[in-house]
Structure 1
Amino acid sequence: MELTQAELDAKIHAYYGSGDEDARLTSRSAGGQVEFMRVRSVIEDRLPARSRVLDVGGATGIHSRWLADAGHHVSLIDPVPSQVELAAEVGTFDAVVGDARSLDVPDHAVDAVLLLGPLYHLADAEDRRLAIHEARRVLRPGGLLFAQGISRLVGFVDGAVHGQPADLTSADLDIVRTGAWINPAEGFPGGHFHTPAELRAEIEQGGFVDVTVRGLEGPNLGALELMRGDRQVLECAIALVEAAEDRVRHSVDLQDKLAAYSPHLLAIGTLPGT
């Protein structure tokens, strides 16, 4: 059964309205913890001091909090009112309800835009184009875009790790071919799963340059879950991923192959100009 984007949007409101995105990134899984630590590390390395940051799809402010604490001026936008209410209670950044495809923000108003969720919940390529266009519109020349995707291979790596590759169906293979998957049942809503090359292309077609795509967690090995909460072990896992990235930095093709085995991808692009 195919769902429209409006129906998917309703599922997104229901799923995130009753869930806790903070827990997903801080305590629920080792993969989530590594994802959070890596995103923070990549942004901290790139972001100039006292930047104006727009956190689009920022949920309850898991990233807005540390950015504000680091001295950046942060505004959060999310489509789920209950998430925005929790984010607004923090008090160190602005939080309003809004849509990534139509931002109520002036042109050239910010130094960086975070799209750490919207792109993989927008099933239609035109909707993703609109979200990227809006990010470009509100960025000043030379500003940075950090845009996250979910890898098409995530479910298949999980299946291989847990010894269930025989359960794959033709519908599963269609996800690899197209990236399209909307969950008709309860749970994670779905939307669109990217390849690294596809995510890079969408960001470049949106007018950004010097685009790189990183795999955040590295290969999704179930053994890492045994180390959940052990920050030293998780930092070692991140160091291994970063060392592998350094080894393949000379080749975009090798970068993509490495990134594809991570559950989450992070694209970083720069808006031309000074």
Structure 2
Amino acid sequence: MSEVVRGYYDEHALQEWHRLDDPYSRIEFMSTLTLLRRYLPTSGHVCDIGSGPGKYAIELLKQGYQATLFELSARELELAQIKIQEAGLHAEDYICEDARNLHVLNSSFYDAVLVLGPLYHVRNLVERHSIIQEAFRVLKPGGVAIFSYINAWGVLKAGVSEFSEAYRDIEYIYDYLQEIELDENRGFTECYFATPVEARAEVLQGGFEIVTYAGAEGFLAGMRTDVTRLYREDRTVYDNLLQAASDTCESPQYRDATEHLVIVAVKRHGD
């Protein structure tokens, strides 16, 4: 990732810690935890690549996994250490490094790897392929990888309520029907948005077998305003929707049109 991306996350470390507590982003968090529960091995070494301030690592540590945090932003990694210590937990290691430099990790060591953010920000295809191939290398045979992409199709839908003024230019709408690269002036920082077709193809080209994929926001995708209103006005309805959306995040009728696409893949024995 570039210094632009590093600078963004250094500056917004605390915001990233709170982001997944937002009523709408909580759907993404709960759906991802659902996938971890369904598909990760029951124990072992996990490398959280692009760990941010440690939200997922803390959940893994609570469940008894041996977790290594691998993060570009020194400030986010420092915050993760603080939060993990406050929770009375202990991580296996903290590595402050760019996800394009996974060669520093040992081969065939991890039972699972999470790549839940870096691929959002690597606009170079060769570099994305390298990250996926390196994730394959560091996994044990039979190990599970979980990759997350920002889905251009889902962003297009969310934009109707979140940035509809941009659609005064009709070409802007059609841009989101294909993969798209944004600089910090158009995206929240330097970004790469995939389509589900392209994202799955990249993971397969990395040597993995895809087990399943999910749309993190499920049937609530693009409904930030309504979801937030229900959180404030009717917590029972909100909680029920949150549970149902996370439980059904793999449903094919929803998963191709959500903002976050999550792919579960495996390194088969003998690979």
Could you state the TM-score of these two structures normalised by the residue count of structure 1?
A: 0.84
- 1:267 is matched with 263
Tell me the distance in 1 between the aligned counterparts of 2:54 and 2:24: 19
Write the distance in 2 (CA, Å) between the matches of 1:106 and 1:231. Answer: 46
Tell me, in whole angstroms, the C-alpha distance in 1 between the residues paired with 2:206 and 2:239. 33
In structure 1, how many angstroms separate the alpha carbons of the residues matched to 2:57 and 2:163? 38
Are 2:56 and 1:81 aligned? Answer: no
Is the alpha carbon distance of 1:231 and 1:110 closer, same or farther for their aligned partners in structure 2, counting shifts above 3 Å?
Answer: farther
- The alpha-carbon distance between structure 1 residues 225 and 71, as it changes in their structure 2 partners (threshold 3 A), is same
Name the CA shift for 1:260/1:183 in 2 (closer, same or farther; >3 Å): farther
AA paired with 2:129?
R
Q: CA RMSD in A?
A: 2.4
Q: Secondary structure at the match of 1:197?
A: helix
Residues 171-209 of structure 1 show CA distances to partners (whole Å, capped at 9, x for unaligned) of 453343332222226x72142111112111111111111
- Paired with 2:38 and 2:76, the residues of 1 have a C-alpha distance of 28
Letter in 2 for 1:32: S
Task: Name the amino acid aligned to 1:123.
Answer: R
Residue 46 in structure 1 maps to residue 39 in structure 2: yes
Structure 1 residue 163 displacement after superposition: 9.1
Q: 1:48 deviation in Å? A: 2.1
Kept in 1, the 8 Å contact 2:155–2:258? The answer is: no
The structure-2 alpha-carbon separation of the partners of 1:105 and 1:159, relative to structure 1 and needing over 3 Å to count, comes to closer
Task: Kindly report which structure 2 residues correspond to 1:53-132, keeping only aligned pairs within 5 A, or say none.
Answer: 53-89=46-82, 90-91=84-85, 92-93=90-91, 94-103=93-102, 104-132=104-132
Cα pair distance change 1:163/1:200, threshold 3 Å: closer
Residue pair 1:132, 1:206 contacting (<8 A) in 2 also: yes
5 Å matches for 1:17-32?
17-19=10-12, 20-26=15-21, 29-32=22-25
Q: Mind listing any 5+ residue stretches in structure 1 that lack a counterpart? A: 249-254
Identity %: 28
1:225 to 223, 228, 247: 228
Aligned residue number for residue 252 of structure 1? none
Per-residue deviation, 1:244 = 5.5
Q: Is the 8 A contact 2:217 2:260 kept in 1?
A: yes
Q: What CA distance in whole angstroms lies between the structure 1 residues aligned with 2:115 and 2:58?
A: 16
Distance 2:266 2:133 in 1: 13
Seen in structure 2, the aligned counterparts of structure 1 residues 78 and 232 have a Cα distance that, compared at 3 Å, is: farther
